[in-house]
Chain A
Amino acid sequence: MTNFNEERMQPWRVELRNSMKPKDRLAISRVKMPELDPEYRCHTMKEEVNLGLTPEMALMESKRCIDCANPTCVQGCPVSINIPKFIKNIERGEFLEAAKTLKETSVLTAVCGRVCPQEKQCEAQCIHLKTKNEAVAIGYLERFAADYERDTGNISIPEMAAPLHKKVAAVGSGPAGLAFAGDMAKMGYEVVLFEALHEIGGVLRYGIPEFRLPNKIVDAEIRNLIAMGVHFVTNCIIGKTITIDDLLAEDYKGIFIGSGAGLPRFMNIKGENLVGIMSSNEYLTRVNLMDAANPESDTPVIKGKKVAVIGGGNTAMDAVRTARRLGAEKAMIVYRRTEQEMPARIEEIKHAKEEGIEFMTLRNPIEYYGDKNGRVTHMLLQVMELGEPDASGRRSPVEVKGKTELVEVDEVIVSVGVSPNPLIPQSVKGLEVTSRGTLVVNEETMQTSIPYIFAGGDIVRGGATVILAMGDGRKAAKGMNEWIMKQNS
């Protein structure tokens, strides 16, 4: 384990810390992320909205961190990145060292620097908030260090243990599987990662649009894993193409399941199966994985002019902003609570608004109407108001009796959550499953009811974030390694 305090007392850190008074550090205002112009970016599919910090900006921002004795930011990070150490490396100009520090505990740093909800994690714990200042922009700095390493062609391969000559499998190549694979490879295991789709990356590929997470970033992370010796097998569904028993017969010592939250939820309201109404999974998969907006792609996508996206999460924001880029004149978020309760990141909401997305809050669809060809033309919205807080602590929405609105639409994207993918639970006998269809695991080790099977990510959580999935993958790697070692002793 990294000894945070010992590292903090290293001479270079002490010197750097003392080179500037905390008061002066505090006096610097938080950096603003350079962004593409909203009007321009509404018409470009793949250009990333956030442009990243320049080295000068990163240096200045890194000075804002006072390198405090009790870095609570680290506790806010699901994978306990040594945040002060990487930031201070940026401050002393050692950008590659900063990137290495990130990789001590994280595998997808350029991804997490972009899509982690830092404002709810590390940055929410920043000491600056206690003094009514803005938190250090940890996420921006993470992205900066990871991008610097990649863009300068200096990607470092973590130190690898000697080969153990033991095979392990990972099912699903999303963030959980990638993190698991990276850690197991580091420990000397031979890792084979099985993916059902034709491309690697899971939700990073089919779900998150390129304007938020470019494919080249995901590609670089995958190349990194390949360099570490991880094998990828696409177009292979465990439980269908080959079974868990087949894997055992091939001498796999452990299997990690990170098959994700595959099944989209619908609301089961009248008219929901009309043409033009689809899940955000379908819409985003068509556009992201299948590149349907590209005229050269064979996959079609409906390019609605009046598009409603139902839901208030990050996926809903991704879908509505995609619709805008595909030419929607009116792109709407329909959400049953208010903006305060929206699960989406503040940044996504801000970006969506800048791009002209309409927010129809306190509205809930109750019926869809179509034309004679079965295409959706209107949605009927129930007007809501906020009632008492529910179990989640959020004030629950209640109907305002008799108050409805009819809104014209030609495309509706339903983004009200997902359920765990049932393929694995259905095909593996004896695997303990919750009533919600998620896999039951030991929270410390991520071991399932079948000892050689471990699991993590949305198949366990039901629908969470990239970083939590990654954290699960890492925990499972540790758990599986310990379990395999015990089998041998």
Chain B
Amino acid sequence: MNKIVSKEYLSPNVVKFEVEAPLIAKARRAGHFVIVRVGEKGERIPLTIADANTEKGTITLIVQKIGLSTSKLCELNEGDCITDLVGPLGKATHIENFGTVVCACGGVGTAPMLPIAEAMKKAGNHVITVLAARTKELIILEEQMRKFSDEIIIMTDDGSYGNKGLVTDGVEMVLKRQKVDLCVTIGPAIMMKFVSELTKKYNIPTIASLNTIMVDGTGMCGACRISVGGKTKFVCVDGPEFDAHQVDFDEMLIRLNGYKDIEREQLHKIAPNT
């Protein structure tokens, strides 16, 4: 049982939790994730760690309400406990001074990008962040990202904030004007696919942090498997970060939708009329 010490809405569907987990706070590195479970009949879902405070012994999780389990989690309040929390899982991000790093993040993907941008900045990189969302109110963590970015480019689909356009438009703007040594991209699979296609064209090494379906998160089940360079890899133990240019995003997109029908049925449990 892990107690929630604070809860904050970043946007109508995105919640930031600070959760007591002293051991994880101490052990986690950028790129790591945890598995959480809410309730005795709850599902195990992976969430990337957005931040940690070793003094307070807390980790920060940023959750977007998408399905049943994320909605249940978002219903919890300060003082409530998360039934199960385990981690840190996965391999940490490989951090070094690459030179110029573009962090391309979309929507709630900004949350797992935060510790990576921080680590990249601390390693001496020139960090350019492209922060994208559908509309202004879905842009999250802008202030925090600014702290670790030498430059920040905001993109909204509807032009309600920053530049009008997709994340790829922002990234391409950078690639056209200057030399970039590495691109890191986190967001919806479809977004990462297009970022990857773009950077491939410009021949920029690119890392994508993948968010697949998982059950145990420790390598046991294989639900998270994807194809990387034609080989099957497990996101939970081989990842979650991979060479984006080698990832079969189309297959990943199909696999992510594998339980959509069942999930839609299950949502009736919390909102019978939807």
Contacts and interface: CB of A to CB of B under 8 A. Distances in A.
Interface of A: 196-198, 206, 234-237, 240-243, 262-264, 266, 268, 272-276, 278-279, 281-282, 285-286, 290-291, 294, 296-302, 373-375, 421-423
Contacts of B262: 300-302
B86 A196 contact: yes
B222 A279 contact: yes
Given A272-B232, A286-B215, A241 B86 contact: yes
Given A275-B258, A290-B43, A298-B69, A237 B218 contact: yes
Contact of A278 (B37, B222, B232): B222
Contacts of B37: 198
B263 A300 contact: yes
B221 A299 contact: no
A235 B85 contact: yes
Nearest to B72: A298
Contact of A281 (B221, B255, B257): B221
Please classify the interface of chain B as helix (H, G, I), strand (E, B), loop, or mixed, using the class held by over half of its residues: mixed
Given A240-B27, A298-B69, A264 B222 contact: yes
Nearest to B256: A275
Given A234-B84, A422-B237, A242 B219 contact: no
A164 B208 CA distance: 51
A302 to B, nearest CB: 8
A296 B37 CA distance: 14
Contacts of B254: 274-275, 373-374
Contacts of A274: 254
Contact of B222 (A234, A281, A298): A281
B219 A422 contact: yes
B264 to A, nearest CB: 10
Contacts of A374: 251, 254-255, 257-258
B221 A266 contact: no
A273 B227 contact: yes
Interface string B63-77: 000001100100000
B52 to A, nearest CB: 13
Contacts, number: 126
A279 B257 contact: no
Interface of B: 23-24, 27, 37, 39, 41-44, 68-69, 72, 83-89, 215-216, 218-223, 225-227, 232, 234, 237, 251, 254-255, 257-259, 262-263, 266, 269
Given A241-B24, A275-B258, A279-B222, 9 more contacts: A206-B220, A240-B27, A263-B237, A264-B220, A282-B215, A285-B216, A297-B41, A300-B259, A422-B237
Given A241-B27, A422-B237, A299 B215 contact: yes
18 contacts: A198-B83, A206-B216, A237-B87, A241-B23, A264-B220, A266-B232, A275-B258, A279-B221, A282-B222, A282-B223, A285-B215, A285-B221, A286-B215, A291-B41, A298-B43, A300-B259, A374-B258, A423-B218
Looking at B43, B84, B216, B237, which has the most chain A CB atoms within 10 Å of its CB?
B216
Looking at B69, B225, B255, B259, which has the most chain A CB atoms within 10 Å of its CB?
B225
A262 B88 contact: no
Contacts of B88: 240-241
Given A241-B24, A275-B255, A275-B257, A423 B219 contact: yes
A237 B86 contact: yes
A373 B232 contact: no
B255 A262 contact: no
Contact of A242 (B27, B42, B72): B27
B233 to A, nearest CB: 11
Nearest to A418: B220
